[in-house]
């Protein structure tokens, strides 16, 4: 059996009741094989990014302890997305509306660059909508090659990102 690894997952959605979906997704993450949810961030309302002609997103972050390999964890995340109605095969959906988006942000201190799997997430250090929730649960976590979550966030504007009550 693999030793446990701390992994971080970014959650987002803007279709339907996205806040309820993200709360249910935290439960789904806690139910993954050989994985447990250690911390869930607050939910944040964030302006749409990439394609701005769509509703605001709800974003969050999760800290997991897992014994799954990185590729297996990613596969499990994609399965959860599908259960919530996400179709990643829609070419028009890049940065578009979605029921649920789960991104593997960090997997221990691993740096992985393989087809379909890049960890740390290649844009993690550039996106306040991901860093704000991540900073709420793990501000001193190191993003390999970019310093801590807190320092990466300090260099970005986080305008319009608001915690939900």
Quote the domain boundaries for residue 109: 5-163
Domains of the chain: total: 1
Element (DSSP H or E) covering residue 22: helix 18-30
Residue 135 maps to which CATH number?
3.30.70.560
What pLDDT score does 91 carry? 46
Instruction: Please give the model's pTM, rounded to 2 decimal places.
Output: 0.94
What pLDDT score does 32 carry? 98
C-alpha neighbours within 13 Å on the C-beta side of residue 33: 11
C-alpha neighbours within 13 Å on the C-beta side of residue 35: 27
Which residues form the catalytic set?
A: 86, 98, 101, 103
String of DSSP letters for 38-86: EEEPPPEEE---SS-SSPPEEEEEEEEEE-S-HHHHHHHHHHHHHHTT-
Print pLDDT tens along the chain (165 aa).
Answer: 889 999 999 999 999 999 999 999 999 999 999 999 999 999 999 998 777 788 999 999 999 999 999 999 999 999 999 999 877 665 455 666 889 999 999 999 999 999 999 999 999 999 999 999 999 999 999 999 999 999 999 999 999 999 998
String of DSSP letters for 104-162: EEEETT--EEETTEEES-TTGGG-HHHHHHHHHH-TT-EETTTEEHHHHHHTS--TT-E
């Amino acid at each position: 059996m693999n030793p446990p690894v701390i992994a971080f997952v970014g959650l987002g959605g803007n279709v339907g009741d996205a806040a309820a979906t993200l709360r249910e997704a935290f439960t789904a993450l806690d139910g993954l094989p050989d994985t447990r949810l250690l911390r869930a961030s607050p939910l944040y309302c964030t302006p749409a990014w990439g394609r701005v002609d769509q509703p605001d997103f709800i974003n969050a972050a999760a800290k997991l302890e897992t014994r799954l390999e990185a590729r297996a964890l990613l596969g499990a995340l994609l399965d959860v997305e599908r259960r919530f109605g996400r179709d990643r095969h829609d070419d028009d959906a890049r940065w578009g509306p979605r029921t649920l988006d789960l991104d593997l942000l960090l997997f221990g201190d691993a740096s992985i660059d393989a087809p379909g799997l890049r960890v740390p997430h290649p844009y993690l250090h550039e996106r306040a909508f991901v860093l704000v929730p991540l900073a709420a649960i793990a501000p001193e976590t190191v993003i390999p090659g970019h310093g801590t979550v807190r320092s990466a966030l300090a260099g970005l504007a986080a305008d319009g990102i608001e915690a939900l009550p």
